[in-house]
Amino acid sequence: MKAVWKAARALPLVLLAVDAANPIVPGVGMADPHMHVWPAQPDKVYVYATHDCNRAGDASQPCAAAAGELGFLMEDWWVWSSTDLVAWTQEARVYPTALAYENANTTDECWATDAASLADGTTFFYLSVGPRSIGVVAGPTPAGPFADPLGAPLVAEGDYPTYARDPGVLLDDDGAAYLIFGTFSYFVARLGADMISLAEAARGVQV
């Protein structure tokens, strides 16, 4: 954690020294980003994000939405990386078909996401599969390749009185990991040591 903290503290200095673009990757429809520096690769920044096809406007990133179409059409999740916060590389795309329980109702609803990575590089990518359930895929590196270790949602629709989406992951200094999720009503639960189960029933967060 000390290495991660030192790297994170250094990021504002890098930002002052470079002329970065805004948005960081223009014209591709990146949304809902979570940025991380992982213990296994302390010199690289990873961004885990969604992809709104309606905002793409880039022939190199094809999607089913017609140009200018309104609404959300989010067919995949993205992993990007950078070593200087200026030049960004797309490391991976994860499609709903990676999840064993994916169905036609969630194919174009790849909502907000987050990730957690261990010291050996093993990485867990937490996904809003549609607006009402959270899945997880796992891979040997921060960029995958990712596969479904559960074959079922980590948090299923109806488990808690909220739309179970928009997961955020907190890796605490004591080694514990927590999953936070919800829509208007929010819940938090400690993750199991395997990072693909809940070690306790989620508790309501008072805001």
* C-alpha dihedral (107, 89, 24, 28), degrees to nearest 10: -40
CA distances 87 to 19, 115, 163, Å, are 11, 21, 35
Q: In angstroms, rounded to a whole number, what is the distance separating the alpha carbons of residues 173 and 90?
A: 29
What is the number of other CB atoms lying within 10 angstroms of the CB of residue 151? 9
Q: What is the pTM of this model?
A: 0.84
pLDDT digit string (tens) for the chain, length 207 residues: 334 333 334 444 333 333 457 888 887 888 999 999 999 999 999 999 998 875 444 555 556 544 455 577 888 999 999 999 999 999 999 999 999 887 766 778 899 999 999 999 999 999 999 889 999 999 999 999 999 999 999 999 999 999 999 999 999 999 999 999 999 999 999 999 999 999 999 999 998
Position 33, amino acid: P
Are 117 and 123 spatial neighbours (Cβ–Cβ below 8 Å)? yes
Q: In angstroms, rounded to a whole number, what is the distance separating the alpha carbons of residues 37 and 147?
A: 22
What is the number of other CB atoms lying within 10 angstroms of the CB of residue 70? 7
Position 154, amino acid: L
Are 137 and 98 spatial neighbours (Cβ–Cβ below 8 Å)? yes
